[in-house]
Amino acid sequence: MNRPDTAGFTLFELLITLAIVAILATVTVPSYTGLVAASRRSDAMAALALVQLAQERWRAANPAYSRDLGTLGRGQATSPDGYYTLRIHSADAGSFLVLARPTGVQQSDPCGTYALDANGPVYGGGYAGADCWKR
């Protein structure tokens, strides 16, 4: 019995193709999730910059920086996209320290908590390093 010549793929060719797709997926998916996490970091940086500006406005009219986000006009203690929670760790007449902690899907980000004081970003000491602040 002779088979007619038909165009198509053999089982072996399909298995090779599936193996190549699987290898590509194992390489690209972690890279993609890392890029998404890195893009979400800008949410923390933007939120901290807004708090820093609000603190400077507050300090211009008051003897010390505010210890409460509510007095700064930030009713919610979350970043604009909701990936970080904000908290003023300390504040006095000379300086303040505000923290942005990752929440939800961003909790697995290796950079962790971002910190900003009156002089700018705080690197190290358990907070996100200089590499994490790069955009």
- 126's CB contacts (< 8 A; 6+ apart) are 112, 113
Distance in angstroms (rounded) separating the CA atoms of residues 121 and 48: 9
- The helix/strand/coil state of 100 is strand
Cβ neighbour number for residue 57 with a 10 Å cutoff? 13
- Residue predicted with more confidence, 31 or 23: 23
Distance in angstroms (rounded) separating the CA atoms of residues 78 and 70: 12
For residues 60-86, give the mean pLDDT.
Answer: 91
Phi and psi at 87, nearest 5°, equal -155, 135
Query: Is 74 a residue whose pLDDT tops 90?
Result: no
pLDDT tens-place string over residues 84-109: 999 999 999 999 999 999 999 999 88
Half-sphere exposure of 45 (CA within 13 A, CB side): 15
User: What is the structure's pLDDT at 134?
Assistant: 85
Task: Supply the pTM of this predicted model.
Answer: 0.77
Residue 91 near residue 103 (C-beta atoms within 8 A) = no
